[in-house]
Chains A and B, each alone.
Chain A
């Protein structure tokens, strides 16, 4: 029990129905500062997994431990980004990024005094992902890629030690996606948070993660745990290198097998 995130035989059933079992005895552990990607067939409970780890949904059996403490409710040390833009439409980009600081301590109680400092920090983050000049725009004035970048900033602003990314680049075109992979790698290399990334893009998993976990079809559990050997920092071309391609093929085979089993 040394990992930063520990799942011990976690099961989750939404209700009494047979089909409502989303996770079955899922166990894995993530080291502090590690970047782990979770892949799997669609509907396998990846998003449920995210909610269980962050404490949004309590598991119906088994236990989740984060930073040595058993998870019993939402954790404020977590930063989250979702597949679809979950920016608050009535807030400007800057004010969306500042949002976590209005809620998470120790920032929240200092908000009144230090708002300017916090906003400066948010501006720095936005600049880091190439969004300087968009601070006062509303989410609907931004492109999909810009919205996802803003979400990343919001997920990181309170310097969470655990970053949960639920298909954050899923809705983007390939070029924007690759650009954000680089931005995310950069952020991870400089700040070293623990990251759990849920994705269905195997190249994305192979490019970003230290370790890739493959989930079975529903009810989900981990069926493969594979280290990614590519050294850091990685260039986009590395996803076309032989070993990366081989890894992607291996992951793909496991997922197809899992899908076939489910069907």
Chain B
């Protein structure tokens, strides 16, 4: 078979097609590396948690007002489906409105902070100080200003979620490679053109990474505000449920919240994949925390 023999002048003759065909290919895919298995794993984990939970509750005979079994929770979920859906819808809207404001303020502020060292140096310390204030402590003030209702929840969702967006967008723009900026500047581009053609696209991966964080904290914000100062929403529902010792209902509301959070996360990941495939080169990217 080895026909590629050295000839006296040092030239090595080429192998034939048969030689190429004879090269074997065999690679075994590990069971856990199969695509379908990978996709199923998260679901198996979730179901597993519920099974362990159920068993634990039954085996240790835990009281329902301490920790209800998943079956009881799902039963309650079905029983109270109408009020749960109504309140979940309220919370979703509240969160999305606050989140929308957070995106606008975060992007505009991030662009301003990221593209001007003067603005960055002047405003950043104040922003950090502001972000260090626990937002829960602000809710009573918001209630004094706006009364009990949707507005404090929207504002709390906004306050919690704009900061990661702002910091990430600012970082994305501030870390634009000087070469890329020079390409545009050498063409006589205006500052605005440099931001729209290089700064913003460059900041997109950072922006989407921050959306995933901001999305979840926006939910935290609206729900916390609802438990303190609202008469509708999942937070309010949970408060009412626990005050009436309807612990399974409170847990059902928690699960609905989790599902909503995951749903929004999935949406932002889907948009991210479409918009920033270039950054992850078609594979799954790394998430930068804020």
A interface list, Cβ under 8 A from B: 51, 54-56, 73-76, 78, 80, 82, 84, 86, 88-91, 99-100, 102-104, 138, 140, 154, 158, 164
Contacts and interface: CB of A to CB of B under 8 A. Distances in A.
A158 B177 CA distance: 23
A154 B184 CA distance: 11
Given A89-B278, A140-B281, A103 B182 contact: no
Contacts of A104: 187-188
A74 B186 contact: yes
15 contacts: A75-B186, A78-B186, A80-B187, A82-B182, A86-B179, A88-B197, A89-B279, A90-B279, A100-B187, A102-B197, A103-B187, A138-B278, A138-B281, A140-B281, A158-B187
B198 interface: yes
Interface in B175-203: 177, 179-180, 182-189, 193, 197-198, 201-202
B198 A88 contact: yes
Nearest to A105: B188
Contacts of B93: none
Given A56-B186, A80-B186, A103-B189, A90 B276 contact: yes
B281 A103 contact: no
Given A74-B185, A80-B187, A91-B201, 18 more contacts: A54-B186, A56-B185, A74-B187, A75-B188, A78-B186, A80-B183, A82-B183, A86-B180, A86-B182, A88-B198, A89-B278, A99-B183, A102-B197, A103-B184, A103-B187, A103-B197, A140-B278, A154-B183
Contacts of B186: 54-56, 74-75, 78, 80, 164
Q: Which of B188, B276, B279 has the most CB of A within 10 A?
A: B188
Q: Taking chain A's interface residues, is the majority helix, strand, or loop, or is none over half, making it mixed?
A: loop
B108 interface: no
B105 interface: no
A86 B178 CA distance: 9
Q: Taking chain B's interface residues, is the majority helix, strand, or loop, or is none over half, making it mixed?
A: helix
Given A103-B187, A138-B278, A80 B201 contact: no
B189 A90 contact: no
A90 B204 contact: yes
B182 A84 contact: no
Contact of B182 (A76, A80, A140): A80
A73 B281 CA distance: 36
Contacts of A80: 182-183, 186-187
B197 A99 contact: yes
B263 to A, nearest CB: 27
A90 B187 contact: no
A2 B197 CA distance: 37
A100 to B, nearest CB: 5
Q: Which of B179, B197, B198, B201 has the most CB of A within 10 A?
A: B179
Contacts of B198: 88
B96 to A, nearest CB: 27
Given A84-B179, A103-B189, A140-B281, A90 B184 contact: no
A144 to B, nearest CB: 15
Q: Which of B276, B278, B279 has the most CB of A within 10 A?
A: B278
Q: Which of B182, B186, B193 has the most CB of A within 10 A?
A: B186
A48 B222 CA distance: 54
A30 to B, nearest CB: 17
A80 to B, nearest CB: 5
Which 9 pairs between the two chains have the least Cβ-Cβ distance? A76-B188, A86-B179, A90-B278, A80-B186, A90-B201, A103-B187, A103-B189, A74-B188, A74-B185
A255 B204 CA distance: 45
Interface in B54-88: none
Nearest to B194: A103
Contacts of A99: 183, 187, 197
A84 B180 CA distance: 10
A256 B223 CA distance: 72
Nearest to B182: A56
Nearest to B278: A90
A116 to B, nearest CB: 20
A164 B183 CA distance: 11
Contacts of B184: 103
A233 to B, nearest CB: 29
Interface string B249-290: 000000000000000000000000000101101000000000
Contacts of A73: 188
A86 B278 contact: no
